[in-house]
Chains A and B, each alone.
Chain A
Amino acid sequence: MIWDRKNECMDREQMRNLQSERLVSVIQRVYDKVPFYRQLFQQEEIEPGDIKGVEDLSKLPFTTKDALRDNYPFGLFAEPMNKIVRVHASSGTTGKPIVVGYTKKDLDTWAELIARIVSQAGVTEDDVVQICFGYGLFTGGFGLHYGLEKLGTTIIPASVGNTRRQIMLMEDFGTTALVSTPSYALYMAEVVHELGIDLGKLKLRLGLFGAEPWSESMREQIQSKWGITATDNYGLSEIIGPGVSGECLEFKGLHISEDHFIPEIIDSETGEPLGFGETGELVFTTLTKEGFPVIRYRTKDISILWDDPCACGRTTARMKKVTGRTDDMLIIRGVNVFPSQIESVLMEIKGLAPIYQIIVDRKGHLDNMEVQVELEKDMFTGSFRDLEAMENKIRGKLNSVLSIDVRVKLVEPKSIERSEGKAKRVIDKRNL
């Protein structure tokens, strides 16, 4: 179902005009209300009046994650605190988190955006939706919650942890749609299998996954293990949280709510804007956010934008599923390696659990990469040759995809640490 036909199926010319009008106003607003942006524009000798529409966007400087961090906690809020009704914060793995603030109107917008993405993923008011995202500073839980409530589904706010209990709820409450990270969905599937639960008795039909990059092959695994339709949705707290974009059931990319955000793709090295169909770093400008507007925010996520019409009827631009980040990229002996490439190779080989870890270290001046993969129990034949053949096959495929020599180590099931949230795929022991 299309939740907001007017905005999701708008004529593209009309959308561009709407974006231009909103851009002009948000630039004036941040200039007036946020000292950081005023200084940034002044440094670049830009006056708000220079920005007359979308075509002037590339004149504006980028905003980086560091800038957001430097203004911790509330320095970039564009409204006084008495207008801010809620704050969330990113899970900063290092140092202070990035704090974002929402006005009442922002929360309404957010719920609308979620209602759009869950509708396009096939959720209806008849669904029973289990939200396995944390409810807290993280935007995932609350974000999905209010949008699903707006749509009118029955929500099970299960939050994270206690997987057996999650599965019990799923069985007893008749969950039809699961909201979680993709890695948690795979982990749950393993536990369901171990508990000997008959999947035929579960009512689960949809999975809405986000909050971490995941590959197409991981989607296939999730779909076949659960027997569900799995869609991707995308967002980051700096922009609004989940709801920035989501897949429709055509699986031709994630529709971006362009009436609220202008997406761009840039060359991450030079900062030059790239065209539709070109691979680069995603950049977003918020058009309607009151509490925490951001201008040309560099996401570090790698994607492609398309603007051709989608068979679902929506006209909004689509972004390619994010499978890597510019800062996920490992440089091994001068070669760029993305964990998602390794994941794709592993998922293509029968007999491997989709559980792996990449360990990088440096001996002397040489980088070494080891990929540890768990053996799937049923695939063990007892033959030494079969195991060696498996290792060689993985090694061969990785070498041909990555063009570097990789060490492969088969490990026992359950020996790699499981995550209930985001997966820790890379351990980099190099001190660079």
Chain B
Amino acid sequence: MGKVNQLSVFLENKSGRLARVTKVLGENDINIRALSIADTTDFGILRIIVNQPKEAYNILKSEGFVVTETDVIAVCIPDRPGGLGQVLAVLEQEQINIEYLYAFVGNTNTKNALVIFRVEDCDKAVDVLKTHGVQVVSGDKVYTM
């Protein structure tokens, strides 16, 4: 409950590979909801949240991409100063390590921001955040936003 299925794609830092991913997904009517790239000079990992994760996974796999599914959590952050800081403080206090986080780009008509977190123990993080009154958004909602 509360977890979001993110796809991680290994990309060699060669021009055109990222474009190829988005093209393949676009051709199959898959919408990217959130996206982040981490890279070194040699390789990168593209992280995406899409409307149909299972389908997208299969498509990318069959196109020869190195892709894996990763559980992440989506947190609704109130749009006011210190909003993100509060969430981070809760996680730190409960000793939950954050591997990475990035902002959600899909939603434009609410006042709140969505932030995607990758943590070591997703289930525990969801519990902890909920008990502290932080709004965790479920996968189903995120995919259709």
Q: Which single member of B6, B43, B64 contacts A409 (CB below 8 Å)?
A: B43
Complex formed: what's the CA distance from A409 to B43 in Å?
8
Q: Quick check: is A382 within 8 A (CB to CB) of the other chain?
A: yes
Complex formed: what's the CA distance from A385 to B43 in Å?
12
Q: Quick check: is A326 within 8 A (CB to CB) of the other chain?
A: no
Q: Quick check: is A387 within 8 A (CB to CB) of the other chain?
A: yes
Over the window 2-37 of chain B, the binary record of Cβ atoms lying under 8 Å from chain A Cβ atoms (1 yes, 0 no) is 000010101110000100000000000000000000
B66 with A414: CB separation less than 8 A: no
Residues of B within 8 A of A388 (CB): 40
Most buried by A among B38, B68, B99: B68
For the residues of A in contact with B, the DSSP-based class is mixed
Q: Given A380-B10, A415-B12, verify A410-B64 contact (CB < 8 Å).
A: no
A384 with B68: CB separation less than 8 A: no
For the residues of B in contact with A, the DSSP-based class is strand
A412 with B10: CB separation less than 8 A: yes
Q: Given A387-B43, A410-B42, verify A382-B64 contact (CB < 8 Å).
A: no
Please give the distance in Å from B55's CB to the nearest CB on chain A: 18
- Count the B residues whose beta carbon is within 8 Å of the partner chain — how many? 21
Q: Quick check: is B86 within 8 A (CB to CB) of the other chain?
A: no
Q: Which single member of B40, B43, B65, B68 contacts A382 (CB below 8 Å)?
A: B68
Residues of B within 8 A of A375 (CB): 10, 66
Residues of B within 8 A of A410 (CB): 10, 12, 42-43
Please give the distance in Å from A321's CB to the nearest CB on chain B: 33
**What's the A-B contact tally at a CB cutoff of 8 Å?**
47
Complex formed: what's the CA distance from A388 to B42 in Å?
10
Please give the distance in Å from B33's CB to the nearest CB on chain A: 17
Q: Quick check: is B45 within 8 A (CB to CB) of the other chain?
A: yes
Most buried by B among A382, A385, A409: A382
Q: Quick check: is B107 within 8 A (CB to CB) of the other chain?
A: no
- Count the A residues whose beta carbon is within 8 Å of the partner chain — how many? 18
Closest chain A residue to B100 by CB distance?
A384
Complex formed: what's the CA distance from A381 to B69 in Å?
8
Complex formed: what's the CA distance from A192 to B42 in Å?
30
Q: Quick check: is A411 within 8 A (CB to CB) of the other chain?
A: yes
A382 with B8: CB separation less than 8 A: yes
Complex formed: what's the CA distance from A210 to B12 in Å?
33
A413 with B64: CB separation less than 8 A: yes
A387 with B45: CB separation less than 8 A: yes
Please give the distance in Å from A370's CB to the nearest CB on chain B: 10
Q: Quick check: is A164 within 8 A (CB to CB) of the other chain?
A: no
Residues of B within 8 A of A413 (CB): 64, 66
Residues of A within 8 A of B43 (CB): 387, 409-411
Q: Quick check: is B58 within 8 A (CB to CB) of the other chain?
A: no
Q: Quick check: is B70 within 8 A (CB to CB) of the other chain?
A: yes
Q: Can you give 15 contacting A-B residue pairs, CB < 8 Å?
A: A377-B66, A380-B8, A380-B10, A380-B66, A380-B67, A381-B68, A382-B68, A384-B38, A409-B43, A410-B10, A410-B42, A410-B43, A412-B64, A414-B64, A415-B12
